[in-house]
Chains A and B, each alone.
Chain A
């Protein structure tokens, strides 16, 4: 593939992502729900911090609350990708397109991840405005860089989630019980080092675990690049695994004549 082909691919991906962002924000109340939920998580974190021993950094908890919102967006948003396309009546067009199915789904999951990033940003600003979280202007570019990489990595993770819920008619019911364990295992509110020993290796397979570590480091003004590097690596692994699985599921469904079950 030459440079022009790669450029066309990137342009196509960005255009599709932009289009799906518009689609996802069309319903104002859904969009508001995405933004409001992590604010409540932040309030709970703030009140628990006030009731507790105060040893943990409040800013870290507010960042964690934002990441809780991102997890919810990914699990519900990416988990219901197929269902939403089915409801809109566009699933057949997407499945019939000559492109690989993963290249059609990836912009949707990235758009969902961007919504999660927006909710994170709003949560952080909420913390700054109402919860005495101090903002250090010099550290903002580093934090934004971390959020950008994390957003792409979570979009890739969403691809895997979408593949797992292909034939689920009630994807949201299935995704819902998975969210709290993911909050816990990915170390977004409580550092990975405080998890039970058996869970720590599992945590290292999740991009948010590294992303949360990088965000906390960027917010504290310390080096965040090693953790961010691991976040990018785990994200790349999920991109490959998710693409392979989505394509495999689509191919097998076409082959077995099971597209009506989607």
Chain B
């Protein structure tokens, strides 16, 4: 009985963190209403996916499948990255940032779990976009590939959300966060080779891109149907390392910001 208590406390803490994260997601995610979610997070990426597939076929680049998968991954970036940024900047906007700053809770509990609802929103947006893209472009995708894609996508979204939250700390200092969000998403779509083939990226971009969210998950997605499943899923490891790196960047930058606020008032 006595030995059970620490586990109970940990499980209780995790549930409490999930509840806080879920409530903050519901309060701060601007696109929670289905109509707005579909317009901004699904309809826009579908249209862009069709446009880039059309442009790619006109320029003789890759095939429709390449743009379908890339477009679906870009669709997941917006809820994950923009949501991650706004998970912190909206706290300031609604005047609730002080409540977080004075909280005694560990920042690991307080911040890291927040990435989870945004990652799931990213997966949802991508799956909806992918389904619509399959119909629009008439590119079949086997069920097992769809399942693999969803798994890889989740880890890509997780690192994107943590990356977005790290940018959100920067957004607490900057005036307009939308510039940050747009530049970040476009940089990911180029650097992680979501919309252009990896082979044409300049060597320095390829090197930097290893630090970008989605880079390794996208590599796994591109390998679907070409390599065996173990090989495809092996890209989850590097993606998790990137996610851990961005989690560390988030915690240390938030700690720095806090100490600066306490020091300078």
Contacts and interface: CB of A to CB of B under 8 A. Distances in A.
Q: Do A and B come from one complex?
A: yes
Interface of A: 27, 29-30, 32-33, 36-37, 40, 43-44, 47-53, 55-56, 170, 173-174, 176-181, 183-184, 189-190, 194
Nearest to B175: A29
Interface in B42-56: 43-44, 46-48, 50-51, 54-56
10 contacts: A27-B175, A37-B182, A47-B201, A52-B60, A52-B61, A53-B59, A177-B39, A177-B46, A180-B44, A184-B51
Main secondary structure of the interface of B (DSSP, over half): helix
B190 interface: yes
B106 interface: no
Given A33-B178, A176-B39, A177-B39, A189 B61 contact: no
Contacts, number: 96
B59 A48 contact: yes
A56 B59 contact: yes
B39 A180 contact: no
B195 A180 contact: no
Counting chain A CB atoms within 10 Å of each CB, the highest count among B59, B179, B182 belongs to B59
B257 interface: no
Contact of B50 (A33, A184, A194): A184
Interface in B61-109: 61-62
A174 B36 CA distance: 8
A184 B54 contact: yes
B55 A189 contact: yes
B186 A48 contact: no
Interface string B189-217: 11000011101110000000000000000
Contacts of B173: none
Given A44-B195, A179-B47, 7 more contacts: A33-B182, A48-B61, A173-B36, A176-B39, A177-B46, A184-B51, A184-B54
Contacts of B186: 37, 40
B40 interface: yes
10 closest Cβ pairs, A-B complex = A53-B60, A52-B59, A29-B176, A180-B47, A177-B43, A47-B196, A40-B186, A180-B51, A52-B60, A51-B200
Which one of B62, B178, B179 has the greatest number of beta carbons of chain A within 10 Å? Answer: B179
User: Chain B: interface residue count, which band?
Assistant: 35 or more
A174 B39 contact: yes
Nearest to B47: A180
A48 B51 contact: no
A40 B184 CA distance: 11
A17 to B, nearest CB: 24
A43 B179 contact: no
Contacts of B200: 47, 50-51
Nearest to B51: A180
Nearest to A29: B176
A190 B47 contact: no
A259 B39 CA distance: 26
Contacts of B31: 173
Given A30-B176, A177-B44, A55 B36 contact: no
B94 to A, nearest CB: 17
B55 A36 contact: no
Contacts of B189: 44
Contacts of B55: 48, 189-190
Contacts of B46: 177
Contacts of B179: 29-30, 32-33, 36
A111 B43 CA distance: 28
A39 to B, nearest CB: 9
